[in-house]
């Protein structure tokens, strides 16, 4: 059902491999980079590390966006869950109160219809970066799609005015079954969001941060960079500028394999 993690989940196992090799790889990179003073290729190694750091930062920002997307969806699902509880409460009151007057039925049905309409608005209006999340469209959740409810007793639309399970029908038990099934569906979706965020997004972010720290520790001090640039015939200020530009370059998609190649 949930497809939030698709853009980052493929990096999870690579992140585990990266973490396992991080310490040893960092030491090797530090040794190579520190030789820039005597070996021009060390300067190239340093620039490669800087480039990878820019790429890692880009991927960290991507993970942060995915976590934000989760948060938006979860907030909407929580609001939906509360509305569903209100709807179920209305039918439970009707079932336990015995015969209700027509006026009481109409008053309760108005509350039910308002809650159903609010859920429809949430499904249609919840977006992230201009893309719908809860309307069942491609790339979003399907938790609030048309099949929300009980496949036997009916969907959520059946409890609204004119529906087979509206209050006027007297089918209170069926209506409660429909709404209870909808609550369970939304609860499962929220639980899946939390579990996937903990298992994938949060974990992946930690691996990326560890890789960032490891690679940053591999960089030599500025003086070594300047000396190495002078040895290969460059000017110190010319060597520093590309490094600064690289740190602020446009974001690019990071592949963990690039870092693993460096660590190898």
CATH number at residue 196: 1.20.1330.10
In the numeric block, the tokens 């298992």 are attached to 199
> Looking at residue 5, what is its pLDDT?
42
| Minimum mean pLDDT range among 75-84, 137-146, 223-232 | 223-232
Task: Judge whether 21 lies within some domain.
Answer: yes
With cut-offs at 50, 70 and 90, classify the pLDDT of residue 77: very high
> Per the domain annotation, does 29 fall within a domain?
yes
State the pLDDT at residue 80.
94
Q: Which domain holds residue 75?
A: 6-263
Q: Is 148 left (phi over 0), alpha (psi -120 to 50) or beta?
A: beta
Q: Are 237 and 226 in contact (CB under 8 A)?
A: no
pLDDT over 90 percentage in the chain = 25
The pLDDT of 229-254, averaged and rounded, is 43
| pLDDT for the residue numbered 28 | 54
Strand duo 154-155 + 149-150: pairing: antiparallel
In a domain, 181, yes or no: yes
| Residue 66 domain-assigned (yes or no) | yes
Given a cut of 60, whether residue 24 has pLDDT beyond it is no
Per the confidence metrics, is the pTM higher than 0.85?
Answer: no
Mean pLDDT score, 148-157: 83
Report the distance separating Cα 54 and Cα 248, nearest Å. 8
CA distances from 41 to 137, 201, 236, 244, 245 (A): 51, 36, 16, 19, 20
Q: Is residue 136 in some structural domain? A: yes
Q: How far apart are CA 161 and CA 167, in angstroms?
A: 8
Domains held by the chain: number: 1
Kindly state whether residue 1 falls inside one of the protein's structural domains: no
Residue 122 lies in a domain: yes
248 occurs within a structural domain: yes
The span from the CA of 126 to the CA of 75, in Å, is 10
């Amino acid at each position: 059902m949930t497809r939030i993690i698709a853009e980052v989940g493929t990096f999870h196992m690579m992140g585990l491999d990266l973490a396992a090799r991080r310490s040893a790889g960092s030491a090797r990179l530090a040794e190579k980079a520190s030789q820039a003073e005597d070996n021009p290729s060390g300067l190239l190694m340093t620039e490669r590390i800087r480039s990878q750091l820019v790429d890692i930062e880009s991927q960290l920002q991507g993970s942060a966006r995915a976590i934000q997307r989760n948060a938006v969806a979860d907030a909407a699902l929580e609001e939906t869950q509360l509305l569903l509880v209100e709807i179920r409460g209305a039918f439970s009151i009707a079932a336990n109160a015995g015969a209700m007057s027509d006026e009481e039925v109409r008053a309760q049905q108005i509350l039910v219809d308002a809650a159903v309409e609010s859920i429809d608005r949430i499904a249609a209006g919840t977006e992230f970066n201009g893309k719908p999340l809860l309307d069942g469209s491609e790339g979003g959740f399907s938790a609030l799609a048309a099949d929300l409810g009980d496949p036997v007793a009916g969907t959520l639309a059946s409890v609204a005015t004119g529906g087979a399970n509206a209050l006027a029908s007297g089918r209170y038990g069926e209506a409660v079954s429909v709404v209870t099934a909808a609550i369970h569906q939304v609860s499962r979706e929220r639980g899946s969001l939390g579990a996937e965020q903990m298992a994938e997004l949060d974990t992946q972010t930690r691996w990326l941060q560890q890789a960032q720290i490891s690679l940053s520790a591999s960089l030599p001090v500025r003086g070594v960079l300047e000396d190495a640039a002078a040895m290969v015939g460059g000017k110190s200020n010319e060597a520093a500028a590309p490094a600064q530009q690289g740190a602020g370059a446009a974001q690019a998609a990071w592949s963990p394999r690039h870092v693993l190649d460096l660590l190898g």
